[in-house]
Structure 1
Amino acid sequence: MTRSLLLLLALLGLNAAAAGEVGLPKPGTLDGVGVNIHFTHAKPGELEMLAAGGFRFVRMDFFWEGIEKQKAVYDFSAYDHLLADLDRLGLRAYFILDYGHRLYDGGLSPHTEEGRAAFCAFVKAAMQRFAGRGSVWEMWNEPNHGMFWKPVPNAEDYAKLALAVGETIRAVAPKDIFVGPTTSEIDLAFMETCFKAGCLAVWDAVSVHPYRHRPPETVAEDYRTMRQLIARHDLKRMMGVAVTYKDQPVVAPSQVLPILSGEWGYSSSINGWGKGYDEVRQGQYLPRQWLTNIANEVPISIWYDWHDDGTDAKEAEHNFGTVRHAYRDGQAEVYEPKPAYLAAKTLTTVLKGYQFSKALALKEDEHVLLFAKGDQLRLAAWTSGDAPRTVTIPASTGRFRVTGHLGAEVPNMVADAAGLTLTLTGDVQYLAPIDANPSLRLAVAWERLPLEVVVTAAQTGELVHQFDPINKRHVIGPPPLVETIITQFQNPLESSVEVGTDGVMIAPGMHFPVKAILPIGERAPSQPPITVDLRINGSVVWTQTTRPVISNPVHLRVLAPVTTDGKTRVPVLVDNSAGTNFRGQIQVTAETGEPLNRARDVAVFGGQTLLLPLVVDRLPEPFHLGVEVTAGSGAAMIRSLPARIYRPLPLDPATWSLHPDGDTTVASTQTLKSTTAEVMVGLGGQATLDLDYRLDKGWKFLRLVPKSPFDLGAAKEIGMWVCGDGSGNIARLRVVDASGQIFQPEGGRLTFMGWKWLTFTITPHTAHWGGANDGVAKAPLKLDTLFLLDQADQSRPSQGTVRIAGAMAVE
């Protein structure tokens, strides 16, 4: 856009978005960072301070009931005012189409034809008024949470409304951005219901609120899982077939729907919201969250919240802000900045106009991101580990200007012949080369690896769908034995360089394909990262990593052994729900690899989950068991589960007691009883513990605790069957390590009904406090709480019955 056109737009009170730039921000830039607000009429100086912090989007509720005060009469004046302010400052709106209306469906969330029609009429009027203004329109706020979708979350009803709204927007404002389902946390089940209903055809992106009591970097694996889920339900688009809805083009072929981080923050309250998430930690996490999102190709990152919503230091909701609550009329900064605001301002200032190039491969918890703007280069570096560490980056010799995460200039660093050596901490530091740096230019000139490489494993003789990277087309044929990864390198220097193991001379400006071979092995859901090197003049200069993803994984799970009729059975759950058909033989093995049962023939269809109670000749003490699934005797491995130690936990009610916890002023009733149940076909007669409860509104949770200490050894996870009650309450447990450090892993929300296997994993990223407080679980572990039922929606009471069975610790 020319300077004269920009000047004209400024004189007219318009910005680039108002002039027709209505798409999603360019991935890899800071054009998509934003913040939640809760007003349409800003206080004097408020939006100016927000814009000075580098925020480019503001996310705000677009209240149906506040706009349509009489049937079919819409008053948009408040939003006219807000958008005029945003246009003046070059900001964009991220509007939430919400909530129920007292005039329709009894004030509940729209769930009837009449309610949906009324909501769509409201949306149509909004589009007719505001289309083309650069706004993003989000379909509701956290519809999987009972606080926002009334009376209780219902994915089917939400999907019907989303489809109707999508059709309305496509008809009236086809270029505006429409996104959903904006779930609270990563609710894959809710998303999949929407995807199956066809919502991907009307959405321009999949929005999510990835809240967590863990560092921001842990979201990468969740995004990976989401991308695979989107791909499975959006195959036509992935294969380059134009997608239409109601015969209208929706998105260009081969364009994969991006993921948006529509709301995500960390509270700095002192009540232990995340056990140690104070203002300092909040200030660390904001830039790390945004940078992690950029590295994961997430084009919009909305931080929650703009300013603190109150002054109670113990109230989590009062302390999500980047600035404090009190308004300071007449001051240059009308709110007192918290470290999070300073961190946002520093990041957006230092990297303004820069484009993300790539993440430079170090250890998993060491992060160095490279950015470029023409010939200018920047590095952002930090660690997500608990302790600082020293790393050396293979930069050319020369000086680097260093900026701290809150904007302080620190002494320059100097790279020597070994590279640039720096100490990584939890604070992001920004480094800018002062002198020419050919090594960093080489890194920028190397094409970024994809975040993951999706491959399909298959048996000999099977035909599979696969992507041909050479001819860039999708084909069906025999399964490949290897996958070839190809990235391009273009020599940016003024002289020729030798590239690759063969030392091919590449002249300035010329290209060279960097190839890596990825063997396709068994159908394991989790694969180690693959490292690809750029070799220049005989030496490895830069390294990138990518993650292989098996498109048809087989999940194996060993359940608690049972003895009936004089026979011992080891139940093995074979989950092929995301896979393709396979047939073979399955065996349980001892630690030595010795088979413990006769090989059993098994045939599993894609989408099928089987429970196989395998009769074993004996059980080693302790239960040290593995599983192997092969294509036949002596044939290739389809899937293996390495031998691990399994410790069944007794569920005798005399061993346990149920205690209320949380706010002592919040009333609750709870009882514990024992029954039996068939958790799956073929797995009956399981002893259960049943938790009947009623919790008044407020902060309240229940803990099922052992009456005497229970040794878990060096357990890495605890699994159990849980019969959910659909309450949406959260399942957790607690263990204590040898130092007194408490770990509280989470099993997810109980949005389901019926039996489901839940796994509670203990990792350095698990919520932890006390003792060594370093995230490293030190054996022996003791069980503190076998099951913690945490009330998710504290604004209303909850009640139900949750049952558990087959609990087992796994080392």
Structure 2
Amino acid sequence: MRDCACLSLLVWTLLTGLSPDSFTFAGAHGPESWRIIRAAGPQLPLVGRLRTRHAREIQSSPWSVGCETLDRDYTVYDNYRAHIGPLGAKRARIQAGWAKCEKVKGRYDWAWLDHVIADLNAQGVRPWVCICYGNEIYPGGGTSRLGGKLPTSDEALAAWQRWVEAMVRRYKGRVCEWEVWNEPAWGYSARMKKALRQARLSQYLRYLLTAETIRAVDPEAKLFAVAASHPRSLFIPDFLEAMKGRKKLHLIDAITYHAYTGRPEDHYPGVDQLERTVARYSDRIAIRQGESGCPSVRHEVHALRGRPWTEIKQAKWYLRRMLGDASRGIPSSVFTIVDIRYPNVLLSMGLLRANDRKEVLYRKPAYYAVQHVMSILDGTVRPMPPVEFHAAPDLALQVVVFRKAGKPLVFVWQAPPGIPSDDLAWRPVELKLETIAFDDPVLVELVGPRVCAWPGPMA
């Protein structure tokens, strides 16, 4: 067998519809998931397996992985650190945790953050840091949890500024991307009273103070704003308008947004709207997908709750989200590396299965699916404009094309309504692509990861 690191053609149908020949199941995990995946592979000659790459082997890429909630000790970094570099992400999102760093007024404990930042850099993964949350040791200091209050009192804001300045100075050269707060606009909508919207916006406009502090210490720092809970958030245009009025748009390098939809493709109309909104204010400000994931078991709380998720569905979901982002040239982060032990749920959005003691049990199929995409679609790959294709309409096909080393990479999947299914059946699809030429194509299954001989002649 030969290693296949540079491929002439990639086609995997990520099927979501059910059929009589499907390998269907409910709630399979771990070894059972892999038994089903191996049994469902294409009955084609095997010519190799996809070679993966450690982050240190990849010069650049658009991919990030989430290492969030360390600030609240909902995960344990050393329990999963060995799985980060091999994944292939070139960035990792972490949360700085003011309340964890400053438990006594004026005294900072950097040990935990030093360890995480140093280890990520040593693995070839650049941390980008979300500066959050509040700190209750200060009156009016906000709260140290998701959806909590921002700092509001003069004493707390001054302490916040001191902490930010000390942190940026300490990690200058090791961290160059800073995101100010996480989802500050929870509940912000047209249904809110105007006065409440203005109050929420004015609180976050203290972003100016934080951004100016960061730039004063590190003029080369990249600044990310908003971390909106969805790309259609009204908070984004309101914030940009306010920044424009203050002539401070230069303090924003990117708007970050989060995306949680059962069908991965459903959020892209909102992304298109976001791109148009940002373009009205600047041709320099980028957009970045900063947090997006799905569970591997059913949950009754948190995002995408109340649905029959499985590890197979999760692997498909991540593949489709990543390919959709990459085809649009959007830097993208996978939420998250490991299951998170929140107070009210063991959130199963991780690529690694964890238990209630925050120990890693195994790599889920989604880990390998994400790893394989990250190994293929690095910074040398360019998305091509949408390609014209012809197929039966009832197939609901999605087709995206990239170019790598002068050769086309084609990804194909089905995307009917609803969340991905557990269907792993392979079946022939007649697909005609315009203006795409192939030479010695192969077919790749992105979870396995089997590289198979092309099943027949090219028309």
Fold conserved (TM > 0.5)?
A: yes
Match of 1:225 in 2: 273
Match of 1:202 in 2: 251
Match of 1:61 in 2: 95
SS in 1 for 2:411: strand
Cα deviation for residue 33 of structure 1 reads: 2.6
Higher strand proportion (structure 1 or 2): 1
For the 8 Å contact 1:398–1:414, the answer to whether it is kept is no
Match of 1:19 in 2: none
Structure 1 CA distance for aligned equivalents of residues 325 and 241 of structure 2: 26
Match of 1:42 in 2: 77
Instruction: Give the counterpart of 1:182 among 227, 241, 246.
Output: 227
Count of aligned pairs: 362
SS in 1 for 2:173: coil
Structure 2 CA distance for aligned equivalents of residues 316 and 295 of structure 1: 34
Structure 1 CA distance for aligned equivalents of residues 203 and 311 of structure 2: 36
Structure 1 residues 396 and 231, CA gap change in structure 2 (3 angstroms):
closer
Match of 2:319 in 1: 287
Cα deviation for residue 352 of structure 1 reads: 4.3
Match of 1:569 in 2: none
Match of 1:366 in 2: 397
Gaps of 5+ in 1: 1-14, 17-24, 239-254, 419-811
Match of 1:270 in 2: 298
Pairs within 5 Å for 1:723-802: none
Structure 2 CA distance for aligned equivalents of residues 398 and 79 of structure 1: 49
Pairs within 5 Å for 1:650-661: none
State whether structure 2 residue 350 is matched by structure 1 residue 321. yes
Pairs within 5 Å for 1:3-42: 30-39=61-70, 42=77
Cα deviation for residue 380 of structure 1 reads: 2.2
For 1:530-587, what per-residue CA distance to the aligned partner results, in whole angstroms no more than 9, with x for missing partners?
xxxxxxxxxxxxxxxxxxxxxxxxxxxxxxxxxxxxxxxxxxxxxxxxxxxxxxxxxx
For the 8 Å contact 1:36–1:263, the answer to whether it is kept is no
SS in 1 for 2:169: helix
User: Which residue identity does 1:263 align to in structure 2?
Assistant: E
Instruction: Give the counterpart of 2:151 among 99, 107, 110.
Output: 110
Match of 1:390 in 2: 430
Cα deviation for residue 143 of structure 1 reads: 1.0
Pairs within 5 Å for 1:212-361: 212-213=261-262, 215-232=263-280, 234=281, 237-238=282-283, 255=284, 257-271=285-299, 273=305, 275-299=307-331, 301-310=332-341, 318-326=347-355, 335-352=361-378, 354-358=380-384, 359-361=386-388
For 1:270-304, what per-residue CA distance to the aligned partner results, in whole angstroms no more than 9, with x for missing partners?
257253432211110112111211222212x2222
SS in 1 for 2:431: strand
Structure 1 residues 325 and 90, CA gap change in structure 2 (3 angstroms):
same
Cα deviation for residue 397 of structure 1 reads: 6.2
For 1:90-124, what per-residue CA distance to the aligned partner results, in whole angstroms no more than 9, with x for missing partners?
11112111111123343422124443332122111
Amino-acid identity (%): 24
For the 8 Å contact 2:296–2:314, the answer to whether it is kept is yes
Cα deviation for residue 327 of structure 1 reads: 9.9
For 1:453-498, what per-residue CA distance to the aligned partner results, in whole angstroms no more than 9, with x for missing partners?
xxxxxxxxxxxxxxxxxxxxxxxxxxxxxxxxxxxxxxxxxxxxxx
For the 8 Å contact 2:180–2:225, the answer to whether it is kept is yes
Structure 1 CA distance for aligned equivalents of residues 368 and 329 of structure 2: 24
Structure 1 residues 189 and 327, CA gap change in structure 2 (3 angstroms):
closer
Match of 1:85 in 2: 119
Cα deviation for residue 334 of structure 1 reads: 5.7
SS in 1 for 2:224: strand
Structure 2 CA distance for aligned equivalents of residues 348 and 327 of structure 1: 29
For 1:135-165, what per-residue CA distance to the aligned partner results, in whole angstroms no more than 9, with x for missing partners?
4211111112279xxxx98532333221111
Higher helix proportion (structure 1 or 2): 2
State whether structure 2 residue 180 is matched by structure 1 residue 139. yes
Pairs within 5 Å for 1:442-481: none
For the 8 Å contact 2:265–2:320, the answer to whether it is kept is yes
Cα deviation for residue 79 of structure 1 reads: 1.2
State whether structure 2 residue 126 is matched by structure 1 residue 98. no
Match of 2:41 in 1: none
Structure 2 CA distance for aligned equivalents of residues 353 and 205 of structure 1: 19
Cα deviation for residue 169 of structure 1 reads: 1.1
User: Which residue identity does 1:185 align to in structure 2?
Assistant: H
User: Which residue identity does 1:305 align to in structure 2?
Assistant: T
For the 8 Å contact 1:53–1:341, the answer to whether it is kept is yes
Structure 1 residues 327 and 159, CA gap change in structure 2 (3 angstroms):
closer
Structure 1 residues 36 and 82, CA gap change in structure 2 (3 angstroms):
closer
User: Which residue identity does 1:401 align to in structure 2?
Assistant: V
For the 8 Å contact 2:340–2:346, the answer to whether it is kept is yes
Give the TM-score, by structure 1 length: 0.41
Structure 2 CA distance for aligned equivalents of residues 74 and 270 of structure 1: 39
SS in 1 for 2:337: coil
Match of 1:520 in 2: none
Cα deviation for residue 383 of structure 1 reads: 2.3
Structure 1 residues 277 and 414, CA gap change in structure 2 (3 angstroms):
same
Instruction: Answer 1 or 2: higher relative contact order, Cα 8 Å, separation at least 6.
Output: 2
Structure 2 CA distance for aligned equivalents of residues 397 and 354 of structure 1: 19
Structure 1 residues 75 and 402, CA gap change in structure 2 (3 angstroms):
same
Instruction: Give the counterpart of 1:123 among 164, 185, 188.
Output: 164
For 1:293-318, what per-residue CA distance to the aligned partner results, in whole angstroms no more than 9, with x for missing partners?
1222212x222222122599xx8652
**Over the residues paired in the alignment, what is the CA RMSD in angstroms?**
3.3
Match of 1:533 in 2: none
SS in 2 for 1:207: strand
Match of 1:155 in 2: 200
